Structure 1
Amino acid sequence: MRDQSIEFIMAGRRHRRRRWILVTSLLAALACALCCAMLLLGNTIYPVKDVIASLSGEKIKGVTFAVNTIRLPRMLTGLFAGFAFGIAGHTFQTMLRNPLANPNVIGITSGSSAAAVFCIVVLQASGAVVSLASVIAGLATVLFIYVLSRGKVFSIGRLILIGIGIQAMLDAVISYLLLVSSEKDIPAAIRWLTGSLNGSQMSALPPLVITVLICSPIIILLGKHLSILELGEQSAFSLGVDTDRTRIALIVGSVCMVAIATATTGPIAFVSFLAGPIAKRLVGAGALNSIPAGLVGINLVLGADLIGQFAFEYRFPVGVITGLVGAPYLIFLLMRMNRKGEL
């Protein structure tokens, strides 16, 4: 009887592992296909051999500029920003055991955006200054929300409600900054608020790439601890997890990625909100979903950008398309949580 139980458990583990490998591979293949589409498609569709030759350093009239200067930075920005939004959103939702607890809803991206807009319209800054201010503001926002939500006993519901209130306040600050700014600064500021890959440049990529390459392995390595934190504070502590240090490492890593991604593309709506639940639905419960969530984030950003560019008569920023997809899901989630008495 005992051997049968062990064999049953091992069979379940093997099935979950095979499903994780299959789903992750398919998501990675889809991401690669979307990356190729980003390089091939545009006002002019270039042959594959010309695109490869251009990427290899060969100078081809028209192709080299379009691919290397416009399409490649746009694709890489969407790739790394999508992964950052996806893995960070999943981390917050799992750690706080609530699908609403993601950077978009609890005000973290609003803090980064407010700092970025302030740097643009008031300080007339750009580049590294905006990125640094965005990271500092994101960390300060999450720290402020965490301190206010502790009280006598830490409450996830209180954290979410305070985060929503902070988000509303920061959105008001952004609106005020736009009202008092000069006309020439408004287009650049609006780009942050809608979330767009337009105007992506290779020079703006290093901070995003470095942050993702440093922070995402930390979050992935802490994946087992993240799953244990989902069981609750006392259960995690009894299983030997240093909850405070683990939570701090996960929060700092996630906020840094979200802040830098927001500084690069603007707050692309609902990617961090959708990526985790989609990955969990595809991979299944009990699996480590950090990597699948990051891949889902990539597919959402690149897919939405292609739809925004080619599916309509007019071109729309990627944040508009993800907002159209994410807003109905948010309403559905709120209605379902209300029926279950979770709100």
Structure 2
Amino acid sequence: MKAVKAIRTPGGLSLRFDPRSLVVSLLLAAVTVAAGVVLIGSGDFPISPGEVVATLLGNGTQAQEFIVQDLRLPRVLVGLLVGASLALSGAIFQSISRNPLGSPDVIGFGQGATVGALGVIVLFDGGALAVAGGAVVGGLVTGVGVYVLAWKRGVHGYRLVLVGIGIAAMLTAANHYLVTKASLVEATQATLWMTGSLDGRDWAQVWPLLGVFAALVPLILAHGRQLRMLEMGDDAAYALGVPVERTRLVLMGSGVLLIAVATAAAGPIAFVALSAPQLARRLTRSPGPNLAAASVMGAALLLIADWAATTGFGDRQLPVGVVTGVLGGCYLLWLLVTERKAGRI
């Protein structure tokens, strides 16, 4: 039995929390901050962690302030927000589908955003803003398509996953087709974008991503209890007074928008949405979506992967999507083996 604490505020409001989940979330937040500081200090002009902190507090030299504030801090903030958005979206869809494979990059939403972005690059020769808009539109249209095709007296877990996997396969084929129709310059740009990278990210990507994240996170957290009830099945959720379809629609819409804006900001970074919620659940040993722990885990994973991509291969810097793809692929194989042994697939 999990130990759950309850505190009562002077106004009579009772708040319940799991001490282990709180401690894990705080430790992951500390790891995220440390990874961010180390990543800011890494590069051709190395800066020690102490100097990074001093510069962030306004006590650095002019050169350090330019490097930290203008060049490296936006990249780290984009990585943090993208990682948290991917993980939060993954936690939502894994809970709704009641399946650890129900990740948005497995069931087609990431591929839909990629189709939208590639369509703008190849067909319209769009700039960065247009590409971001195309990714958002592609993700949202894919979300609507998956929801409609998976609907049959409600949207149920395995049907959502199976429909999503089928749509993901078709969208992947569409992505390859768009690349073959592109010119050499466009194909190079598209291939680089499809890899998923934080290179060259600046404040222009930070503010829209931060705005969407700040708007959606309170909405998602407000539905956290209902999301946990949905994991017990629709009948149990109905019996507990949860408006199932409305809750599912709100949460799916929020999850699709998160994956779409994250893809628009950094490209399709694979497997963070799949692995972060499951790793958070194993660390907290708590049932339910573990939204806070999952989001912080996603941010930490992406920043650590970006640090490994930029410093672990000598003079060659890899896109972060390559590192997450390799590590996530290994995790997916382990997850499939574990699920098969448990008799769930």
Common fold: TM-score over 0.5: yes
Give the C-alpha shift of residue 129 in structure 1: 2.5
Other-structure match for 2:279: 278
User: In the aligned structure 2, how far is the partner of 1:68 from the partner of 1:121?
Assistant: 33
Q: 1:175 to 1:50 in 2, by over 3 A?
A: same
The 5 Å alignment of 1:9-28 reads: 12-14=3-5, 17-28=18-29
* Structure 1 contact 192–262 (Cα < 8 Å) conserved: no
Note if contact 2:84-2:295 (Cα within 8 Å) is conserved in structure 1: yes
Q: Shift of residue 126 of structure 1?
A: 2.5
2:315 maps to 1:324: no
Verify: 1:295 aligned to 2:286, yes or no: no
Deviation at 1:220, TM superposition (A): 1.2
Q: Distance in 2 between matches of 1:291 and 1:183?
A: 43
Alpha-carbon distance between aligned partners in 2 of 1:53 and 1:233, rounded to the nearest angstrom: 52
Contact 2:111 2:171 in 1 (8 A): yes
C-alpha contact (below 8 Å) 1:92/1:102 kept by paired residues: yes
- TM-score w.r.t. length of structure 1: 0.91
Distance 2:60 2:288 in 1: 46
The one-letter amino acid paired with 2:326 is L
Q: Give the C-alpha shift of residue 185 in structure 1.
A: 2.1
Unaligned runs of 5+ in 1: 1-8
Taking a change above 3 Å as real, the CA distance of residues 238 and 74 of structure 1, as seen in their structure-2 partners, is same
Unmatched segments (≥5 aa) in structure 2: 7-16
SS at match of 2:18: helix
Distance 2:289 2:104 in 1: 20
What CA distance in whole angstroms lies between the structure 2 residues aligned with 1:227 and 1:56? 40
Q: CA deviation at 1:51?
A: 3.8
Which residue identity lines up with residue 3 of structure 2 in the other structure? Answer: G
The AA in structure 2 aligned to 1:75 is V
Whether contact under 8 Å (1:108, 1:255) holds in the other structure is: yes
Q: CA deviation at 1:58?
A: 7.5
How far residue 290 of structure 1 moved from its aligned partner, in angstroms, is 0.3
Structure 2 partner of 1:240: 241
Alignment of 1:92-103 (within 5 A): 92-103=93-104
Aligned to 1:108: 109
Q: Is the 8 A contact 2:37 2:49 kept in 1?
A: no
Contact 1:149–1:158 (8 Å) recurs in 2 = yes
Percent same amino acid at aligned positions? 35
Query: What is the distance in 1 between the residues matched to 2:61 and 2:97?
Result: 51
- Match of 2:121? 120
Distance 1:245 1:69 in 2: 43
Structure-2-length-normalised TM-score: 0.90
Partner of 2:71: 70
Q: Could you tell me how far apart the structure 2 residues matched to 1:79 and 1:181 are?
A: 32
Give the structure 2 partner of residue 5 of structure 1: none
Q: Distance in 1 between matches of 2:186 and 2:269?
A: 20
Q: Relative to 1, partners in 2 of residues 1:62 and 1:183: Cα closer, same or farther, differing over 3 Å? A: farther
- Quote how far apart the aligned CAs of 1:59 are: 8.3
The amino acid of 2:169's aligned partner reads A
User: What pairs with 1:1-343 in structure 2 (closer than 5 Å)?
Assistant: 12-14=3-5, 17-48=18-49, 50-52=51-53, 54-55=55-56, 60=61, 62-151=63-152, 154-286=155-287, 289-313=290-314, 314-343=316-345
- Is the CA contact (8 Å cut-off) linking 2:21 and 2:286 kept in structure 1? no
1:100-130 deviation line (CA, Å, top 9, x unaligned): 1110000000000110111112211123332
